[in-house]
C-alpha cells in the first residue's frame, strides 16, 4: 500500500506519495499463486514454440514451411484479439479462462502424443500451432483484465510490471531450456512439458475465487456492438491509430527474423537444438536486461524517441547475421558448399 510522508515542514506541509515496493503485489497470496503458475506455463509455451520450429526443420526445410510456423502462431492474435477483448467484457472471466486453458492443455497433450508416436506432419504442426495460438489469443485480454482483481489499487502498477518481468523471464528461460531438453530427452519432451505446465494454470484458476460483482442495472453489451465500438474508438483516436500503424510497420518485418531463426541455426550456423534454444533465450535475456535499464533511458528520452532508437537498434542487429555469412562467423557455412557435402533441404537462409 502506498505511504504518504510530509513534504517540507510546518502544519501546512503537503503529503508526498511514496511509490509502493515492486515486491508489494506478492504480499497477496492469490497474485503470487497465479503469477507463479503463469510464469511456469509461459516457460512451457516458449519451449513448445522453440520445439515446433525445430520440428518443422526436421520435417520440411523449405523456407516457406518453416516461416509458416511463426505465421500459424501469431495469426490468431491478429484475427481474434479484438473479439476476445469484447468477449472478456461480457462473460465471466474466470470460467472463460478455465475452459479455454483446459482446451489448450488437451490440445498440447494430444500433439505431444503425435510427436512421440512420430505421427506429426508439417500440416499437423501448423494446425496445432494455430489452434493453441487461438486459445492464447482468446485468453490474453482476460488475463490482463483480472490483474485489478488480484491486488489493491496502489499495488496495480507494480503488479503489471511484475507480469511483464515474468513474461520476459519465461522468454529467456523457456527456449534455452527447450533446446537442452530436446538434446537430452528427444523432440517430444518439450511438448509434453508444455501440456503439464499448463495444468498448474488451470489449477490456480480453479482454486481462485474472483470477487463477485454486484449485478448492474444495465444489460451486458452485445458481442458485435462491443467489437464495433472498439473499431470506432481506434479509428477516431489519433494517438492510438498512430501507435497501431507503427506497431504494424515494425512487426510486419521484424517477425521475419523469428520465423527464419530455426533455419539460420540449423543450416547457416550448422548448430543443433541447444544452439537454437540459446539464440531464442538470448532474445528473452535481452528483454529482461532492457527492462532494468528502461527507467534510466525513459528519464532521458521521450516515448517516441525511445521507440525510434529501439527500432533502429533492432534493424542494425538484423544486419549482423547477413554480414556473418563467412566460415569464421558462421561455422559450417563453408562446408555446405564443398563437393560431396549434401545440403540439408530445399530452403536455406
Buried residues in 286-316 as b, exposed as e (16+ CB within 10 A): ebbeeeeeeeeeeeeeeeeeeeeeeeeeeee
Span 314-327, pLDDT tens digits:
888 877 766 655 43
Compute the average pLDDT of residues 22-46.
90
Strand partners, 3: 18
* Residue 16 covered by a domain: no
How many separate domains does the chain show?
Answer: 1
Which cell goes with 19? 511509490
Give percent of the chain with pLDDT exceeding 90: 25
Give residue 330's pLDDT: 40
Give residue 343's pLDDT: 36
Give residue 304's pLDDT: 82
Report residue 296's pLDDT band, with 50, 70 and 90 as the boundaries: confident
Give residue 342's pLDDT: 35
Span 104-127, pLDDT tens digits:
999 999 999 999 999 999 999 999
Give residue 311's pLDDT: 84
Span 154-187, pLDDT tens digits:
888 888 888 888 887 888 788 888 888 888 888 8
* Residue 14 covered by a domain: no
Higher-confidence residue: 220 or 5?
220
Give residue 123's pLDDT: 93
Return the closest-CA partner of residue 61 out of 263, 261, 332, 256.
Answer: 263
DSSP 120: -
* Window from 78-82, 117-121, 247-251, 341-345 with minimum mean pLDDT: 341-345
User: 216-220 — which CB contacts under 8 Å span 24+ positions?
Assistant: 220/89, 220/90
Contact 3, 138 (CB under 8 A): no
Higher-confidence residue: 348 or 267?
267
Give residue 220's pLDDT: 59
d(CA 165, CA 38): 12
Q: How many CA atoms within 13 Å lie on the side-chain side of 342?
A: 3
What average pLDDT does the structure give for the chain?
79
* Residue 286 covered by a domain: yes
* Residue 132 covered by a domain: yes
Give residue 349's pLDDT: 32
Higher-confidence residue: 198 or 157?
198
Whether 129 shows a pLDDT value over 90: the answer reads yes
Report residue 17's pLDDT band, with 50, 70 and 90 as the boundaries: low
* Residue 100 covered by a domain: yes
Which cell goes with 234? 481506434
Give residue 251's pLDDT: 80
Give residue 148's pLDDT: 87
The domain in which residue 139 lies consists of 24-209+222-337
Whether 244 shows a pLDDT value over 90: the answer reads no
DSSP 319: H
d(CA 195, CA 178): 13
Give residue 83's pLDDT: 84
- Alpha helix positions (H), the chain: 29-59, 63-88, 93-116, 122-145, 147-150, 156-185, 189-207, 223-236, 238-263, 273-298, 303-323
Give residue 192's pLDDT: 95
Report residue 263's pLDDT band, with 50, 70 and 90 as the boundaries: confident
* Residue 87 covered by a domain: yes
Give residue 333's pLDDT: 38
Span 142-157, pLDDT tens digits:
888 888 888 888 888 8
Looking up residue 249, the CATH number of its domain turns out to be 1.20.1250.20
* Residue 345 covered by a domain: no
* Residue 252 covered by a domain: yes
Amino acid at each position: 500500500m502506498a505511504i504518504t510522508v510530509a513534504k517540507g515542514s510546518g502544519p501546512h506541509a503537503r503529503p508526498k506519495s511514496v511509490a509502493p515496493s515492486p515486491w508489494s503485489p506478492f504480499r497477496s497470496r492469490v497474485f503470487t499463486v497465479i503469477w507463479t503458475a503463469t510464469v511456469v506455463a509461459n516457460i512451457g509455451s516458449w519451449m513448445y514454440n522453440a520445439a515446433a520450429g525445430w520440428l518443422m526443420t526436421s520435417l520440411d526445410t523449405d523456407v516457406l514451411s518453416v516461416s509458416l510456423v511463426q505465421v500459424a502462431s501469431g495469426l490468431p492474435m491478429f484475427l481474434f484479439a479484438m473479439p476476445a477483448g469484447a468477449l472478456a467484457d461480457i462473460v465471466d472471466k474466470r470460467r472463460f479462462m478455465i475452459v479455454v486453458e483446459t482446451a489448450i492443455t488437451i490440445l498440447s497433450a494430444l500433439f505431444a502424443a503425435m510427436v512421440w508416436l512420430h505421427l506429426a506432419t508439417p500440416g499437423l504442426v501448423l494446425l496445432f500451432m494455430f489452434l493453441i495460438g487461438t486459445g492464447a489469443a482468446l485468453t490474453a485480454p482476460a488475463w490482463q483484465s483480472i490483474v485489478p482483481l488480484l491486488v489493491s489499487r496502489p499495488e496495480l502498477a507494480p503488479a503489471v510490471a511484475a507480469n511483464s518481468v515474468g513474461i520476459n523471464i519465461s522468454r529467456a528461460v523457456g527456449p534455452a531450456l527447450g533446446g537442452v531438453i530436446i538434446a537430452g530427452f528427444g523432440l517430444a519432451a518439450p511438448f509434453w512439458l508444455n501440456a503439464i505446465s499448463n495444468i498448474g494454470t488451470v489449477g490456480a484458476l480453479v482454486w481462485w475465487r474472483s470477487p463477485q460483482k454486484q449485478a448492474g442495472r444495465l444489460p451486458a453489451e452485445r458481442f458485435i456492438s462491443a467489437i464495433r465500438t472498439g473499431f470506432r474508438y481506434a479509428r477516431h483516436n489519433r494517438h492510438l491509430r498512430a501507435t497501431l500503424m507503427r506497431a504494424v510497420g515494425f512487426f510486419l518485418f521484424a517477425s521475419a527474423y523469428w520465423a527464419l531463426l530455426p533455419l539460420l541455426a540449423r543450416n547457416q550456423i550448422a548448430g543443433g537444438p541447444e544452439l537454437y534454444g540459446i539464440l531464442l533465450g538470448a532474445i528473452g535475456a535481452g528483454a529482461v536486461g532492457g527492462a532494468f535499464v528502461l527507467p534510466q533511458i525513459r528519464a532521458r528520452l521521450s516515448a517516441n524517441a525511445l521507440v525510434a532508437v529501439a527500432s533502429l537498434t533492432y534493424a542494425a542487429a538484423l544486419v549482423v547475421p547477413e554480414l556473418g555469412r563467412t566460415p569464421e562467423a558462421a561455422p559450417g557455412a563453408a562446408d555446405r558448399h564443398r563437393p560431396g557435402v549434401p545440403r540439408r533441404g530445399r530452403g536455406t537462409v
